[in-house]
Structure 1
Amino acid sequence: MRKVKILLAGTVAALAVSGSVAHAERGTDGELKILFWQAVSTLNPYLSGGTKEVYSSSMVIEPLARYDEKGELTPTLVTEIPTADNGGVSPDMMSMTWKLIPDVKWSDGTPFTAEDVVFTWQYCTAPDGGCAQAAQYEGVKSVEAVDPQTVKITFSEPKYYPYSAFVGAQSPIIQKAQFKDCVGAKAPGCTSANFGPIGTGPFVVKDFKPNDVITFEANPNYRDPAKPAFATVTLKGGGDATSAARAVLETGEFDYAWNMQVEPEVLATMLQAGKGKIETAFGTQVERINLNWYNPDPALGDKRSTKEAGPHPALSDPAVRRALSMAIDRTIIDEAGYGESGQPTCNIVPAPDMYISTANDWCLTQDIEGAKKLLDEAGWTPGPDGIRAKDGVRLSFLYQTSTNSVRQATQELVKDMWSQIGVASELRNVSASVFFGGDPASPDTFQKFYADVEMYTNNFDGTDPEKYLAEWLCDKVPGPENGWQGQNIPRYCNPEYDKLVAELAKTGDLGKRAELARKANDMLTAEGAHIPLIHRGQPSAVSLSIEGLRMNAWDSELWNVADWSRKK
C-alpha cells in the first residue's frame, strides 16, 4: 500500500486553492483578441474531440481540477486534490471524494452543486449518447452527491490512478439545469446549450457564430471578484496558420493565435517585426497517420468505415501496415515542417520520460528496400503501372488531413515515399473546422474516417496516459450507434490490448504502471493502429503586450486566461 500512497500523493502538487496577484478591477483591460485558424464548431467538448472545441470552451466551463504548466494537478472547483494521505481516496482504492469550494455560482447566478457533477457523468455515459470524452469516465461505477458540496466517485474495481473523471479540460462540469433535457440521442440537437453553455469560468458566451466568431464577456459571477482583467474576448476562427501567425507577430491585429503549425523559416521572418513572440511547450502531442482497419469503400454506403463493412481489403494485412511506416523518413518531415518545435517519434505516448519506449525505434530509420521485401514476401506484386496489387486489390489509398500548409507538405512527402515502394496515394484536405468539428451528419469528420488513412495531432491531459490509452479499446470505435463520437479512430480492436489497459487501471506501483503503458504504446505502433510521425511542441503566437500567460501543454492553453492582462 505504501507505493500506492506515493503515487496518489506524489503526482499532486497544489492541495489548496491556488491564487495569484489579483487584478485591480474586473474588466479594466478592454478586449482580448484570440485567433484560432481552426474555427470552433461547438462549445460542448463532449460532442467533439477537437482540441479547438476543448480549448475554447475551457474559458467558460471548468473541471473540478486541472493540470498546471508543470503537469501537476491543481484544484479548480474544489478545496483540495483527494489523495490516499488526506483521506480523499479510500484505502481500497475503490472510491474518491471531492469537496467543492463553497458558494461557487454558475454564470446565471444559481448555485454550483454536487448534483451538477453527478449529472455530467450521467450525460456522458447515457446509453444512446455519443460522448466524445467517454474514456474519461472509464471504470467509474457511480457518482453520488453526498451533500451539496461533496461528490463521491465509486469505481468498478480498484483505481490506482483515479484522476480522470472531472479532471482536465476534456472533462468539465456542465450545468444540470441547462442540459437536463439534452441527454443521450437528444444531445446534438440542443443547439442553444451546446453553443452557449452556462459555466463557472471567467467568461460567458455573448454570441456564437459556428465556424466563424465567438464573443465572450467577463462572467459577473466569477468567484474571484477582481478577475478576469479583460472585459470581453473575441475568438475569431478560420483562415490558415500562416495568416494567423502574421496577425499577431507582424500586424499586431490579434493578441493570441493558437497552434502555429507554420514552417520554421516563415515564423523566423515574422518575428523580426518585434510585435510578438512564440511560446512553446512540449507535452504529449503526436502528429500521426491513422490507418483505417475497416473498409471505407463509398459503394458500401452507410456501412462504410463501420464493423458491418468488414476489414479493410489492404490495411488488414500487417505487412502493408508495417511497410507504410518503414517507407517514411521522419527526419525530413521534421526538418521541413517543425524544426525545433518537433522531433521524430515512433510512440503515441511520447512523454513524460518514464513512459517513453524505445521498442519501436526501428521506425526512426527509413527502410525502402526492407519495405519492398516485406510486401514482396506478402504477395503484393507491382503491376504495369508500378502499383502493387494482390488478389485484385491495389495498394492505392485516399489520404486525408486538415487544411494546413505543413500538413499538405507532409502529405506530398509521404506520397513520394510511399510511391517508392509501389503504393499510390490520392491526397485530400478538409477545412479544419469541419474535419475536427464532430458533426455526426458530416461525411468529412476525422471520426467518420471516410478514407483509408488520415493524419492529425492528438494528445492527453496531464502526465498519466491511462485514460488516453483507453481510447483504443474495442468499445470506443466510432459508429452510428454512438453518434460517431468514439475515440478509437483507427477502429483498432485487440482483446489482448483491452486486457493490458485493464491491468494498467488496477496497478498502483509507478514503475509497473510505466511498464504496462509502454507495452500498450508498443502494441499500438507495432500492430499498425497508426503511424506516429512527430512529437510536436505546442507553439502559439503571443503579443508582447500580454502578460500573465503560462503556456501549458498538459491542459488547455487557455487554462489560466483569468490571469491574463495587458501590460500598462
Structure 2
Amino acid sequence: MSSEYIQDMVENLKDGRLSRRSFIRKLAAVGITAPIASQILAWNGVAMANATLEYKPTKAGGGGPLKMLLWQAPTLLNPHFASGTKDQIASRIFYEPLAGWDKEGNLFPQLAAEVPSKANGGLSEDGKTVTWKLKPGVKWHDGKPFTADDVVFTWEYAADPATAAYTTGAYANIKVEKVDDLTVKVIFKEPTPFWADPFVGVAGMIIPKHHFGEYKGAKSREAPANLKPVGTGPYKFVEFKPGDIIRTERNTEYHVANQPFFDTFEVKGGGDAVSAARAVLQTGEYDYAWDSLVEEDVLKRMETGGRGKVSVAVAGDIEFITLNTTDPWTEVDGERSSKKTKHPTLSDPAVRQAINLLIDRDSIQKFIYGRAGIPTASFVNQPKQFKSEKLKYEFSIAKANQILDDAGWKKGSDGIREKDGKKLKYVFQTSINAPRQKVQAIIKQACQKAGIELELKSVTASVFFSSDVANPDTYTKLYTDIEMYTTTQPQPDPERFLNQFTSWEVASKENKWLGRNVSRYTDPEADKAYREAQKELDPAKRAALLIKVNEIFCEANVILPVLSRTKVVSAAQNLAHDHSGWDVDTWNLGAWYRS
C-alpha cells in the first residue's frame, strides 16, 4: 500500500466519506495494525478514541489501601537508570512522561495538554520538529510548579554521556528548546517518522530540575532522589527499602480530577511468580500481581479460587536467548565480555546455528507457557507489519549434529564436541522462575544429544534484572556464555526496541553496562538500515528497513527468539486496572479503582 493511497484514505476520512472503522479495516487487510493506524491519523490531525479505563469514582481518595506484588523487587527509583522492568514499573508510580501508550497503542496525554498533531500545530510538515504543550497547574510532590525547564533538563540529563542513562538512546540525537513555561520544541536532525520516543512512555519520564540539577553527568549516582523520588504522579513517596518494599500515600494535589481513588499504595517485592499469583487469585492478600509467569495448568487451577482474575494483553515482548560472541571469562581493561574480545567457540556461526536448532519452541509453549507465549523465530512480532515473514524456526537434533560434524567439531571420549583444544561447554543463565528452569532443562537435554554441555545457572530475579552497576550477575553484564530472559517492547513501534541491535548501544564499563546492546554483536549493515529507518517517512520502506535489522541478528543466530510473549497479570475481582501491553503496568495508576 503506497503512502499516496494512505493519504487519500485519510482525506476521505476527514471529509466523512470513510469511517474510522473502515479506515482501520483497510489498513489491517495489508498488515497495518490499529496502533500504527492511530499514529498515522494523529500525524494528520485526526484523533483516535483512547482505549483507557473508564474512571467512575466522583472524588479522589476514600478507597483505602492498594497492594501490589512485584516479585522482581525494585532496587532504585530513577527512571533513567531503570534497565529492568521492575524498576521502570516502580519509577512510574512517582514520575510521568508527557504521554503514555494505552492498550490499543494510542498516545495518551499525561503531563502534556494534548498529543501533538499537524492540526494543532504540534507536528511540522518536514517531520523535523514536534511542539509539546504542557498541562498547566501541575505540581511536583514538594509543591514546586512543573514547567518546560524540567522537560529541557530531562533531555540534558539523559543525553549527557557522563550520566550513563539507560534512556540515552531516546535523547542523544535531538535538541530541545523552551518556547515558554508551558511549551517545548523537540528538534530532530533529520525527518523523523517515529517522533513519539523522547518524553513518551518508559523512556519519557520527566524528572525535576530542582532535585537533579546538581547531579547531572558524573555525579548522577549521588542524587538522593535516586532512592527518594519527588515526582508529579498520583502517589507520593513515604518509604523505600530496596529489594523489599515501597510505601506511598495519595497525592492530594494530583493534576487529574477525582484521582487517585486509593489512599495508599504499597508495592511488595521479592518471592516468585507462583506465590505472587496465588496471593491474588487464591488467598486475596494482594490486589495485583505483576507478570504471572506461571505454568498454564497451575494458573488455571488458581483461577478457580474466585478471588481474582487473570488479565492478558497483547504486547511486543519477547522471550529470547542471547549467545555471547565476546569472551565472558577473560578480563580486559577491568571488564569481562568486552567488545575487544572474541568468544572462543560461540564466535563460530556453525555452533550458533546448531544451538538454535536445539530449542524445542513448540513444546516450550505447549507444556509450559500456554497463553503467555507464541513460538517464534522473529525478535519483533508486534505490530504485524514489522514482523519478518522470512524467519522460520525448526527443532532438529539430527541437523544440529550434521552442522557441527561439517564444521569440524568432533565428539571426545566424554561425548562433548571439541576442536583445536576448545570444548563446546557453556554456562547458561536466566532468572529464577519455574518455567524458565524447565526451559533450561529442555534445551540442556537436546544439547547433550548434539555433544554440547550446558551448565545451568539461575540468578535471583531481583539480582538478574538489577540496575546496580556493581552487581556481576545482571543480565546487562552477560558474564556467562548464554542467557535467557524477556525484554519489553515499550511502544507499538519497534524503532527504539531495535536500537539494542546497534553498535552505539553496546553495553560496557564505559556506559556502566546500561547500553541496550547486551549481546555486544554488531553489524555495519544493521547500523546502516537502522539509521535509514530513523528518517524514512514512507511507512512500507521504513518497516522493511527495521525488518532487515531484526533479520540480520536473528539470521546470525546471536539472538535466538523463543516465544512472543503476552502480558499476563493477576488482579482482584473487584479491581478496575488499566492494563496496556505497550507501557508498564503503572502507566495509568491514578485511574485504578475498586468497583
Q: TM-score range by the shorter chain?
A: over 0.9
1:353 alignment partner AA:
K
Per the alignment, residue 414 of structure 1 pairs with 443
Say whether 1:136 aligns with 2:164. Answer: no
Taking the aligned partners of 2:492 and 2:202, their CA distance within structure 1 comes to 14
- Could you list the per-position Cα deviations for residues 475-522 of structure 1 after superposition, in whole angstroms to 9, with x for gaps in the alignment? 111111111111001001111110000011111111112211211111
C-alpha contact (below 8 Å) 1:252/1:276 kept by paired residues: yes
Q: Distance in 2 between matches of 1:204 and 1:196?
A: 10
Structure 2 counterparts to residues 547-566 of structure 1, below 5 A: 547=576, 549-566=577-594
Tell me what 2:24 maps to. none
Aligned with 2:92 (options 58, 72, 78): 58
In the alignment, structure 1 residue 459 sits paired with structure 2 residue 492: no
Q: 1:217 aligns with which of 226, 230, 249?
A: 249
Partner deviation per Cα, 1:182-233 (whole Å, 9 max, x = no partner): 212222232x211122111111111000000000111122112421000101
Q: Is the 8 A contact 1:72 1:462 kept in 2?
A: no
Residue 367 (str. 1) matches residue 401 (str. 2): no
Q: 3-state DSSP class of the match of 1:441?
A: coil
Q: 2:415 aligns with which of 367, 380, 386?
A: 386
Q: Aligned partner of 2:79: which letter?
A: P
| SS state at 1:181 partner | helix
Match of 2:299 in 1: 267
**Any gaps of 5 or more consecutive residues in structure 2?**
11-35
Aligned AA (1:472): F
Cross-structure match for 1:10: 41
**Alpha-carbon spacing, 1:550–1:299, altered in 2? closer, same or farther (3 Å):** closer
- List aligned pairs for 1:317-396, cutoff 5 A: 317-361=348-392, 363=393, 365-396=394-425
8 Å contact 1:387–1:422 — kept in the other structure?
A: yes
Question: How far did 1:14 drift?
Answer: 4.8
Q: CA deviation at 1:299?
A: 6.1
CA distance in 1, matches of 2:422, 2:177: 54
User: TM-score if structure 1 supplies the norm length?
Assistant: 0.95
- 1:10 counterpart SS class: helix
Amino acid at match of 1:144: E
SS in 1 for 2:163: coil
Amino acid at match of 1:488: N
Q: 1:433 aligns with which of 462, 465, 484?
A: 462
Name the residue aligned to 1:26: 60
What is the SS of the residue equivalent to 2:510? helix
Q: Can you list the C-alpha shifts for 1:331-357, whole angstroms capped at 9, x where unaligned?
A: 111122211221101111111111121
**1:56–1:303 CA distance, 2 compared to 1 (3 A):** closer
Q: In the alignment, what sits opposite 1:49?
A: 83
Q: Distance in 1 between matches of 2:233 and 2:5?
A: 36
Question: Does the CA-based 8 Å contact 1:107-1:220 persist in structure 2?
Answer: no
Of 103, 106, 113, the residue aligned with 1:69 is 103
Q: Which amino acid aligns with 1:149?
A: L
Q: 1:137 Cα deviation (Å)?
A: 2.4
Residue by residue over 1:74-96, the C-alpha shift from the partner in whole angstroms, topping out at 9 and shown as x without a partner, is 21111222223433122221211
Instruction: Specify whether residues 491 and 414 from structure 1 end up closer, same or farther in structure 2 by C-alpha distance, changes over 3 A only.
Output: same
Counterpart of 2:219 in 1: which secondary structure?
Answer: helix
Give the whole-Å Cα distance in 2 for the aligned partners of 1:11 and 1:381. Answer: 58
Residue number in structure 2 paired with 1:107: 141
Equivalent residue letter for 2:502: L
Which residue does the alignment assign to 1:241?
273
Tell me by how many angstroms 1:242 deviates. 0.7
Alpha-carbon distance, 1:136 to partner: 2.1
Corresponding position: 1:316 with 2:350:
no
Q: Are 2:332 and 2:338, in contact at CA under 8 Å, matched by a contact in 1?
A: no
Residues 1:469 and 2:498 aligned together? yes
Determine the C-alpha separation between the residues in 1 that align with 2:94 and 2:5.
37
Kept in 2, the 8 Å contact 1:248–1:541? The answer is yes
Give the number of equivalent residue pairs: 561
**Partner secondary structure for residue 266 of structure 1:** helix
Partner of 1:231: 263
Q: More displaced, 423-432 or 86-95? A: 86-95
TM-score, length basis structure 2: 0.91
Amino acid at match of 2:594: R
Q: Deviations over 1:77-118 (max 9, x none)?
A: 112222234331222212111110112111111111111111
Which residue among 521, 526, 540 is the counterpart of 1:492? 521
State the match for 2:234 in structure 1: 202
Q: Could you tell me how far 1:359 is from its partner in structure 2?
A: 1.1
RMSD over equivalenced CA pairs, Å: 1.9
- Residues 47 and 438, structure 1, Cα contact 8 Å, conserved in 2: yes
Question: Residues 165 and 110 (structure 1 numbering): CA distance in 2 closer, same or farther, change over 3 Å?
Answer: same
Question: Where does structure 1 lack aligned partners over 5 or more consecutive residues?
Answer: none
C-alpha separation in 1, matches of 2:348 and 2:478 = 19
Letter in 2 for 1:25: K
